[in-house]
A and B are shown apart, each in its own frame.
Chain A
Amino acid sequence: MLTIIFDGVAYGMLLFVLACGLSVTLGLMNFINLAHGAFAMAGGYCTVVLVNRLGVPFALGLPIAFLLTAILGGLFERTLYVHVYARPHLDQVLFTIGLVFMAVAATDYTMGSSQQFVQIPEALQGQYNVFGVGMSKYRLLIIVVCGFLTVALQLLLTRTRFGSRLRAAVDDQRVARGLGINVGAVFGITFAFGSGLAGLGGALGAEILGLDPTFPLKYMIYFLIVVTVGGTSSITGPFLASILLGLGDVAGKYYVPRLGAFVIYTIMIVVLLWRPQGLFARSTVR
């Protein structure tokens, strides 16, 4: 029971790191980015190449994966995504699905279609036993890293100048522009940062989520659940939604393996029926 909670929390934390970039970009530009998972996959494959083939230590591989995906994200944002912001949602969906298809096929072409594993240092394998609860070291690492990131993000958003600019832009883009905030630049940086986080999540999660070319398609729905259930206006909403989703998914797969992922889809539909704007959305009216 406790092990399930532990695994669920680790899984949820991971989902949060993967999806929080998406929730910010969605809230900021009202842009539906289905290709978010592609950046996560890029981060995962970066780590695989760095750690397995080039022999870079795992602890160094993660920040490099973060940086590389952030650069990749920023590049895509400036060259391609900027043209699509003002378009209707249908165009955004088509565009990002197109990107996903291209990412899937390109990864298949360059890396092969088989599942990839990151070599984890031996210090992180095995598990601790605390009061009869088996805790895998790797999952503990994930909880620590992701917990740290969550706190850092929260501080970044609430305590720094950039954070207040970002929140202002999310709340009301026009007024923020009027106050001299360069919303385009804020958005570009946030997009790059969010992609970087997704890349980091993909790198960390390769062990738990599995990493193969269909990753962006497989986890698209999870990211979207986090974002729709959690709402897009804060960090805490998606965070709680991720934890809930992680717990629900792990517990569902453990107790009713026959139904599998069915459990979380049901949770999602019930939540959306009950609160169409998301479980933790602020009750602001625009």
Chain B
Amino acid sequence: MGPVADDVSSYLKRRARWSPFEIAFWVFAFASIWLFPGKHLILTETAILALFALSLDLILGYAGIISLGQAAFFGLAGYCAGLLAKYGLVTEPVLALLVSGVAAAILGFVTSFLVLRGSDLTRLMVTLGVSLMLGELANRFSDITGGADGLQGVEVEPILGRFRFDMFGHNGYTYSLIVLFVCFLIVRRIVYSPFGLSLRAIKGNALRSAAVGIPVKWRLVAIYTIAAFFAGIAGALLTQTTAFCSLDVLSLDRSADLLLVLIIGGTGYLYGGLIGAVIYKFLQDWIATLTPQYWQFWIGLVLVVIVLIGRERFESWITAIRLGLAGFASRLISRPATLGAGEGP
């Protein structure tokens, strides 16, 4: 390798290194298992939403594909996990999770060829169309899916044959968080690999990327499939932790909310989905206690206001906060004595 290649690779390696902020983030995330034992149900939902947002960020933030149909993969895998558990086909949750994820990935692979054609509008249409189609199928074949009543009678076996899902969701949360962390590690590896960099190049300019020898189409097919896999894992996780699956997993609202999550947290940045999910869940929880029936109005208002203020400006605020937090976290790390005081409840 020449000196330039060495330079590039050392630069990329430096970029891919774990920052103190990231370490602090995950330490805090795992500490939440013990810090907030009463909030595990909502935290489980947050972790699942974060994983789901992460999957959308892969295609939206890194590959630049607008999708309104990520719920298709979420829902398919959700039903898949539910049916696997209900009929006792694959009883071990972790294995069932993987099977459901693969099912979603297959759907992603097949539909990716549809999505790669045409303009933004066509993509929007096709992704939306695919998720609506699945929703319609799930609604019509109610003898399999339970239709509008949802999939009843899902009994999830203990995780790894050992940890039972309890009523308060303690094990469920730990399980979700570990799955999220593992998926995050894989996504992080993907994003910082040459493959991930080529995706960014495609997002920047597809024509030029093709000119420098990146197989644009196949890279996009690959990332769409991978994203579908992670969305599927999120969907299956929801079914397993709630032991229930309804038509609502395939709804348009779910995809639209997901976009909001990602916009709150910032796109094209791994923690965007995670931070967005936390903020969104708390926002939703807070608004829902104020106006239980009409919280959708305020969510809509948030979307409109974010766009009117300007997403870039909004994201620059988030970045500022993030940098501030990162500085704070690195100061905490460098003075370990204050760590406990800083993170106490």
Q: Which A residues have a C-beta under 8 Å from some C-beta of B?
A: 26, 32, 80, 83-84, 87, 89-91, 93-95, 97-106, 108-109, 217, 220-221, 224-225, 227-228, 258-262, 265-266, 268-269, 272-273, 276-277
Contacts and interface: CB of A to CB of B under 8 A. Distances in A.
A99 B137 CA distance: 28
Given A109-B297, A272-B125, A97 B308 contact: no
Contact of A101 (B68, B132, B133, B300): B300
Given A87-B307, A265-B129, A109 B294 contact: yes
Interface in B278-323: 293-297, 299-304, 306-308, 311
A contact face: mostly helix, strand, loop, or mixed = helix
B296 A98 contact: no
Contact of A272 (B117, B294, B302): B117
A6 to B, nearest CB: 25
14 contacts: A90-B311, A94-B311, A97-B259, A97-B300, A98-B303, A99-B304, A101-B296, A105-B300, A108-B293, A217-B253, A227-B121, A260-B136, A272-B126, A276-B118
B140 interface: yes
Contact of A268 (B125, B294, B297): B125
Nearest to B306: A94
Given A104-B300, A265-B136, 19 more contacts: A90-B66, A93-B68, A94-B260, A94-B303, A95-B308, A98-B301, A99-B304, A109-B293, A109-B297, A220-B128, A221-B125, A221-B132, A224-B125, A228-B122, A228-B125, A260-B136, A265-B129, A272-B118, A273-B114
The residue among A89, A94, A221, A225 with the most chain B CB atoms within 10 A of its own CB is A94
Contact of B304 (A98, A260, A265, A277): A98
A102 B121 contact: no
Contacts, number: 129
A277 B118 contact: yes
A258 B142 CA distance: 10
Contacts of B252: 217, 220
B206 interface: no
A87 B66 CA distance: 14
Interface in B244-263: 252-253, 256, 259-260, 263
Contacts of B66: 89-90, 93
B140 A259 contact: yes
Interface of B: 60, 66, 68, 114, 117-118, 120-122, 124-126, 128-130, 132-133, 136-137, 139-140, 252-253, 256, 259-260, 263, 293-297, 299-304, 306-308, 311
B121 A104 contact: no
The residue among A101, A109, A258, A266 with the most chain B CB atoms within 10 A of its own CB is A101
A97 B294 contact: no
Contacts of B308: 80, 83-84, 95
A104 B126 CA distance: 24
B121 A26 contact: yes
Nearest to A256: B140
Nearest to A229: B125
B120 A95 contact: no
Closest 5 CB pairs of A and B: A98-B303, A101-B300, A105-B297, A102-B300, A276-B118
Given A26-B121, A89-B66, A268-B125, A258 B306 contact: no
A231 to B, nearest CB: 11
B124 A93 contact: yes
B133 A265 contact: yes
Contacts of A84: 307-308
